[in-house]
Amino acid sequence: MYFNSKGQEENTYDAIVIGSGISGGWAAKELCEKGLKTLVLERGRMVKHGDYPTAMKEPWEFKYRDATIPAEELKDYEKQNRTGYTMRESTKHWWVKDTEHPYTEVKRFDWIRGYHVGGRSLLWGRHSYRWSDLDFEANARDGFGVDWPIRYNDIEPWYDYVEQFAGIQGQAEGLPHLPDGKFQPPMALN
């Protein structure tokens, strides 16, 4: 792909990835590792160490004990707040304001967004769960929707691949509805 920005130096790329979140970031990683010259376009800002202003604050140090933000302010985050857990004093600076970045819904669609380098990969809360066959077969069991064309065994090697790269920590629990991963040892408590 040929890219020329306002007559400046011409650049050619094998691939252009839009967004540096978990999907775009992973796509760029794989393309680069295969030797392709890859351009990543990101609309968000670079996140620096100082961009975590609430990281060392305890819940009781927030005006509302980090339980919520005022109703008047929540109006700016109508869709971002639909999860019920995203909009807190300690995290609101990571999410876009729906009043500034609206999108149209024909029927409800929760597009939870944070415009910064790394996207939602910075917002995963250190939780990483695998889907089980119970998830992939739910449509067939309850008779609603379209059945998944794949099963857990089809993607298990890919779960392993990503977890090993990302360094997912945890311990094997042997729960059929929550398959065990290729875990690094859990972090030590301090």
Question: Which domain does 59 fall in, by range?
Answer: 52-112
Residue 171, in any domain of the structure: yes
Domain count, the chain: 2
Question: Are residue 147 and residue 102 in the same domain, yes or no?
Answer: no
How far is CA 106 from its chain centroid?
A: 24
Quote the tokens at residue 14: 């094998």
Question: Are residue 139 and residue 190 in the same domain, yes or no?
Answer: yes
Question: Are residue 74 and residue 104 in the same domain, yes or no?
Answer: yes
Residue 16, in any domain of the structure: no
Q: How far apart are the C-alpha atoms of 131 and 179, rounded to whole Å?
A: 7
Residue 134, in any domain of the structure: yes
State yes or no: pLDDT of 4 exceeds 80: no
Give the mean pLDDT of the chain.
Answer: 89
Question: Are residue 101 and residue 65 in the same domain, yes or no?
Answer: yes
Q: For 56-67, what is the mean pLDDT?
A: 91
Residue 28, in any domain of the structure: no
Question: Are residue 72 and residue 100 in the same domain, yes or no?
Answer: yes
Question: Are residue 60 and residue 93 in the same domain, yes or no?
Answer: yes
Q: 72-126: per-residue pLDDT in tens?
A: 999 999 999 988 778 899 988 899 999 999 999 999 988 888 889 998 888 877 7
State yes or no: pLDDT of 32 exceeds 90: yes
pLDDT confidence tier of residue 7, bands split at 50, 70 and 90: low
State yes or no: pLDDT of 8 exceeds 80: no
Residue 181, in any domain of the structure: yes
Q: Please indicate whether residue 39 or residue 185 has the higher confidence score (pLDDT).
A: 39
Question: Are residue 102 and residue 133 in the same domain, yes or no?
Answer: no
Nearest 5 degrees, angle CA 135-CA 136-CA 137? 95
Residue 27, in any domain of the structure: no
Question: Are residue 138 and residue 185 in the same domain, yes or no?
Answer: yes
Asked which of 67, 86, 112 is the last residue of a domain, the reply is: 112
Residue 81, in any domain of the structure: yes
Q: 129-156: per-residue pLDDT in tens?
A: 999 999 999 988 888 888 899 999 999 9
Question: Are residue 149 and residue 107 in the same domain, yes or no?
Answer: no
Residue 162, in any domain of the structure: yes
